[in-house]
C-alpha cells in the first residue's frame, strides 16, 4: 500500500484527478474517523474531510516519502484542520469536557482500517502501552490527542499549572515511544 | 529565526507533536528544530508516536451518499483546475481517447458520483415558476425534436467512443499499468452513460430557455438505476470564471446539485451522475450559471428549466 500511495501522490501532483479519487476512496474512512472523533458533528467533519483532500490535491507536489506514509500525512492535515475548527468554536470552559475520556471509551471501536491485517494485535499493544502510563500522563494525552484540547485548555479544566501539563505530556509521549517502536512497520 | 532556547524548545516538543500548542509556539519550535539536530530527531520521533495513536480512533463511516458527493466535487473541481492550467501548457502527447471527442464537457465516471448533499430549501428566482411565461408550444415541439436528435447524436457518439475504448482496453488487458486501469474506468463510464440514455425505465425531462430560441437540453432519469444523464445542445459558453450547474428541484423545494459542466465548442454537453430520488419527488430540473467549481446552493441566474410534471 505504501508504494502505491506514493505513486498516487506522484500522479496527483501531475494533475491526475482520477488519482485523487482513488486516494479519497482509499483513505476517506480513517480521515473521517479522526476528524469526527474531534468535531463530534457529521456536517463539520464532512467539510473538513473535503478540505483535507482538496489540500492534498493542491499540495501533492510538496509530499515526499521523508514525511512518512501518505496516510499519516493525510491524517495530520485532517486532524489539524479539525482542531482549527474545533478551537474556533469553543467558547466556554464547560465545552471543554462534556464526557469522561478513558482508554475504554476510545478503544472500543472496530479495528482501524489503517493496518487491517494486524489490526487487533497492534491495537491491543497500543491500549496496553497507554494503560501502563501513570494516570495523570494518560489523561493529558487523551485530552490532548483524542479530545483536541490545547495544553492551556487542559491546564484550565484540570486546574493544574501549564508547566505541569507540558511535563506530563512530554513524559507520557516519551514512555509510549518504546512499546510503539516494536509496532513500527518494516520498510518496504 | 527562533528566539526559543534549546531547553524551552525541548519542553514544547511533545505539545507540538500533538498539535496541543499555539501556532506561534509550534512555529518557534519548528524554527529551532531546523537548526538543532537533537530537537529535530526528537520531534520526528514524537510525531511518529502521535501518528500511531490514530490507530486507536474508533472507525466511523460517513454517510455513503454524502461521501460520494464530496468525492464527485473534489474530482470535478480538480478537473476544472487542470483544464485551466492545461490551456496555457505546451501540447501534450496525444492519448488514445480522441481529443476531438472530449473538448470541455465534463463527464463523471461511475465512481465519481454527482454532488448529492441535500440543501435547505431556498427560493431561487424563477425556479418556482416551472412553465414558460408565454406559450411556446410549437417551439417546444421543435426543441424536443432537436433535443431528441441531439441526444441521439450524443448516444451515437458515446457508443462510438465506448467501442473505440473497448478495443484499446482489450488490446492492453495483459498489462497492469495505470493507463490500462484508467481506460477501463473510462470504458465503464461510457457503458453507464449509454444505459442511462437507453434503459427500460428511463424518464425524460425536457429543459427550455425562457423567452428565446437557442439551447435545448434533456435530462434522462433512469429511475431503476438512479442514473441521471443531462444532454445539452446549442448552449452558449459560460462567462469567464463561471460554469453551468444542473439542479434537481424536489417537490419540497430542495435544490440538489447535480453536476457542473462546460459545453464544447458546438454547445454540446453530456453529464452523467447517480443519485437516488423517490420516483414522485422530482418537481423540476434547472440549470444555473455559477462560479467555477460549482456551489452548494444556487446563486446565479436560471439559464434553463424544465418541469417534471
Query: Smallest Cα–Cα separation from A96: which of A107, A85, A86, A82?
Result: A86
The C-alpha cell at A27 is 483513505
Mean pLDDT of A92-96: 51
Which pLDDT value is given to residue B156? 57
Mean pLDDT of B164-188: 58
- Any CB–CB contact under 8 A between A144 and chain B? yes
Measured between CB atoms, which of B14, B66, B112 is closest to A46? B66
Q: A92 to chain B nearest CA, in Å?
A: 18
Q: B166 to chain A nearest CA, in Å?
A: 19
A:40-99 residues touching chain B, CB 8 A cutoff: 42, 45-46, 49-50, 53-54, 57, 68, 72, 75-76, 79-80, 83
Measured between CB atoms, which of B49, B54, B86 is closest to A30? B54
Q: Enumerate the residues of chain A whose CB falls inside 8 A of the CB of residue B51.
A: 68, 72, 75-76
The strand order across the sheet containing B282-291 reads B255-261, B242-250, B282-291, B302-307, B202-208, B216-222, B227-233, B269-274
Which pLDDT value is given to residue B136? 33
Identify the H or E element spanning B258. strand B255-261
Model confidence at A77, in pLDDT bands (50, 70, 90)? very high
- Tens-place pLDDT, residues B54-110: 888 888 999 888 899 999 999 999 988 888 777 766 654 544 444 343 333 444 433
Q: B6 to chain A nearest CA, in Å?
A: 15
Mutate to test the interface with B, among A144, A158, A165, A168 (most CBs of B within 10 A): A144
Cβ contact, residue pair A154, B18, below 8 Å: no
pTM of this prediction?
0.53
- Tens-place pLDDT, residues A55-76: 999 999 999 887 788 998 999 9
Q: Is the pLDDT of residue B202 over 60?
A: yes
Mutate to test the interface with A, among B15, B45, B81, B187 (most CBs of A within 10 A): B15
Q: A90 to chain B nearest CA, in Å?
A: 15
Q: Is there a contact between B305 and B210 (Cβ–Cβ < 8 Å)?
A: yes
CA distance A145 to A131: 15
Residue B295 buriedness (CB in 10 A; 0-12 / 13-18 / 19+): middle
Measured between CB atoms, which of A20, A33, A169 is closest to B57? A33
Strands B242-250 and B227-233: unpaired
Query: Smallest Cα–Cα separation from A53: which of B1, B155, B70, B61?
Result: B70
Write the ipTM: 0.82
CA distance B64 to B220: 23
CA distance B103 to B79: 12
Q: B42 to chain A nearest CA, in Å?
A: 9
Amino acid at each position: 500500500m505504501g508504494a502505491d500511495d506514493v505513486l498516487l501522490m506522484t500522479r496527483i501532483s501531475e494533475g491526475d484527478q482520477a488519482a485523487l479519487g482513488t486516494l479519497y476512496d482509499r483513505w476517506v474512512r480513517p480521515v473521517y474517523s479522526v476528524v469526527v472523533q474531534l468535531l463530534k458533528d457529521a456536517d463539520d467533519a464532512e467539510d473538513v474531510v473535503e478540505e483535507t483532500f482538496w489540500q492534498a490535491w493542491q499540495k501533492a507536489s510538496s509530499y515526499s516519502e521523508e514525511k512518512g506514509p501518505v496516510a499519516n500525512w493525510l491524517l495530520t492535515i485532517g486532524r489539524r484542520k479539525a482542531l482549527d475548527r474545533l478551537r474556533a468554536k469553543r467558547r466556554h470552559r464547560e465545552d471543554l469536557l462534556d464526557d469522561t475520556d478513558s482508554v475504554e471509551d476510545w478503544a472500543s471501536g472496530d479495528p482501524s482500517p489503517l493496518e487491517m491485517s494486524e489490526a487487533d494485535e497492534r491495537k491491543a499493544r497500543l491500549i496496553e502501552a497507554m494503560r501502563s502510563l501513570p494516570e495523570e500522563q494518560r489523561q493529558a494525552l487523551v485530552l490532548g490527542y483524542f479530545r483536541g484540547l490545547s495544553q492551556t485548555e487542559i491546564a484550565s479544566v484540570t486546574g493544574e499549572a501549564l508547566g505541569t501539563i507540558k511535563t506530563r505530556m512530554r513524559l507520557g509521549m516519551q514512555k509510549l515511544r518504546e512499546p510503539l517502536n516494536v509496532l513500527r512497520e518494516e520498510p518496504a | 529565526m527562533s528566539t526559543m532556547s534549546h531547553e524551552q524548545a525541548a519542553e514544547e516538543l511533545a505539545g507540538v507533536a500533538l498539535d496541543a500548542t499555539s501556532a506561534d509556539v509550534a512555529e518557534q519550535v519548528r524554527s529551532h528544530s531546523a537548526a538543532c539536530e537533537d530537537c529535530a530527531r526528537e520531534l520526528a520521533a514524537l510525531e511518529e508516536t502521535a501518528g500511531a495513536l490514530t490507530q486507536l480512533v474508533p472507525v466511523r463511516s460517513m454517510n455513503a451518499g454524502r461521501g460520494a458527493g464530496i468525492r464527485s466535487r473534489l474530482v470535478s473541481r480538480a478537473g476544472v483546475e487542470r483544464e485551466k492550467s492545461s490551456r496555457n501548457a505546451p501540447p501534450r502527447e496525444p492519448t488514445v481517447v480522441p481529443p476531438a471527442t472530449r473538448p470541455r464537457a465534463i463527464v463523471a465516471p461511475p465512481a465519481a458520483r454527482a454532488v448529492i448533499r441535500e440543501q435547505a430549501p431556498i427560493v431561487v428566482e424563477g425556479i418556482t415558476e416551472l412553465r414558460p411565461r408565454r406559450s411556446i408550444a410549437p417551439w417546444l415541439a421543435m426543441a424536443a425534436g432537436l433535443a431528441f436528435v441531439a441526444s441521439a447524436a450524443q448516444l451515437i457518439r458515446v457508443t462510438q467512443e465506448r467501442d473505440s475504448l473497448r478495443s484499446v482496453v482489450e488490446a492492453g488487458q495483459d498489462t497492469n499499468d495505470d493507463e490500462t486501469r484508467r481506460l477501463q474506468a473510462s470504458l465503464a463510464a461510457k457503458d453507464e452513460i449509454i444505459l442511462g440514455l437507453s434503459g427500460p425505465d428511463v424518464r425524460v425531462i425536457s429543459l427550455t430557455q425562457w423567452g428565446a430560441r437557442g439551447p435545448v437540453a434533456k435530462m434522462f432519469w433512469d429511475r431503476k438505476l438512479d442514473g441521471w444523464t443531462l444532454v445539452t445542445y446549442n448552449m452558449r459558453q459560460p462567462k469567464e470564471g463561471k460554469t453551468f450547474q444542473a439542479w434537481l428541484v424536489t417537490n419540497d423545494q430542495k435544490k440538489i446539485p447535480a453536476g457542473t459542466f462546460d459545453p464544447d465548442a458546438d454547445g454540446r454537453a453530456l453529464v452523467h451522475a447517480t443519485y437516488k430520488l423517490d420516483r414522485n419527488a422530482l418537481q423540476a430540473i434547472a440549470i444555473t450559471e455559477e462560479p467555477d467549481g460549482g456551489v452548494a446552493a444556487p446563486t446565479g441566474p436560471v439559464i434553463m428549466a424544465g418541469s417534471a410534471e
